[in-house]
Amino acid sequence: MNILLLGYGKMGQLIGEIAESRGHQIAGKITIDNRDELDLLSSDQVDVAIEFSQPEAAVENFEWCLEKGIPVVSGTTGWLSEKPRIEQLTREKNGSFFYASNFSIGVNVFFKVNQFLAKLMNETSGYQATIEEIHHTAKKDAPSGTAITLAEGIIQNHQAYEKWHLTEESSENEQSLAITSKRIDPAPGTHIIRYHSEIDDIEITHTAHSRQGFALGAVLVAEWLKDRKGVYSMDDFLSF
């Protein structure tokens, strides 16, 4: 399979290494510095694109892939206000688009545990939910896409919450779920869900030890997406 890498930072490099170790070829490595090389690529040279770039470049990358008929897998966060439009464009072009805030199998299991716990806590009074996420200092967006997905999982399953906010931002809405974002090197990613009461605390935590799980997940998804059409997520891939 010929894979185009849109974004070639630490994640892009690791994805490339894993893809080649699985017998795939890298059709191109595109960054902000060589974006003009996209014009030299045709759709018959690329089977699928894996997009881990920056929020300001992501939407343009998606549009290029969908116009070319190239399936695209993305893990870039910070652009989600445009997600409905990209999903609509995917359908109009009969294309393939896969987005996940996190490609780690373990994190996606954690998402399900979070939703289940929120349902249980919805029936229990006296607890206040919060989210804390810790990432390396090179991560530009806050909160992380993973933290937003966790917040959405709580909001959908706990009637006490209707939105989320960063703790750095004031919120007078008692139904707003607080997210604390910390940037500490070399942390690849820790997410903590905490339910606090005067009596006790209940916590669930996911801690990534490296980017390996994220990168492998992205390559596995690319292999899965290659011959499919439509808009997909990790729930589709894992068939939860």
Specify whether 22 is located in the same domain as 88. Answer: yes
Domain of residue 94, residue span: 2-103+212-238
Q: Is 61 annotated as contributing to ligand binding?
A: no
Are 97 and 36 within one domain?
yes
CA distance 212 to 194: 26
- Could you say which of 68, 135, 158, 191 is catalytic? 135
Q: Which of 83, 93, 119, 139 is catalytic?
A: 139
Verify that 129 and 188 share a domain, yes or no. Answer: yes
One domain, residues 148 and 228: no
Report the predicted TM-score, pTM, of the whole model to 2 decimal places: 0.82
Contact 149, 189 (CB under 8 A): no
Q: Are residues 201 and 219 in the same domain?
A: no
CATH number of the domain bearing residue 198:
3.30.360.10
Q: Name the residue among 89, 111, 90 with its Cα closest to residue 100.
A: 111
Same domain, 26 and 16: yes
Q: Digits of tens for pLDDT over the chain (240 positions)?
A: 999 999 999 999 999 999 999 999 999 999 989 999 998 998 899 999 999 999 999 999 999 999 999 999 999 988 999 999 999 999 999 999 999 989 999 999 999 999 999 999 999 999 999 999 999 998 878 899 899 999 999 999 999 999 999 998 766 677 999 999 999 998 889 999 999 999 999 999 999 998 899 999 999 999 999 999 999 999 999 985
165 is catalytic: no
- Domain of 14, CATH number, reads 3.40.50.720
135 and 145 both lie in a single domain: yes
Query: Is residue 108 a known part of a binding site?
Result: no
24 is catalytic: no
Residue 145 labelled as part of a binding site: yes
What total number of domains does the chain contain?
A: 2
20 shares a domain with 61: yes
Residue 165 assigned ligand-binding role: no
Orientation angle between helical segments 10-21 and 212-225, nearest 10 degrees:
60
Do 150 and 120 share a domain, yes or no? yes
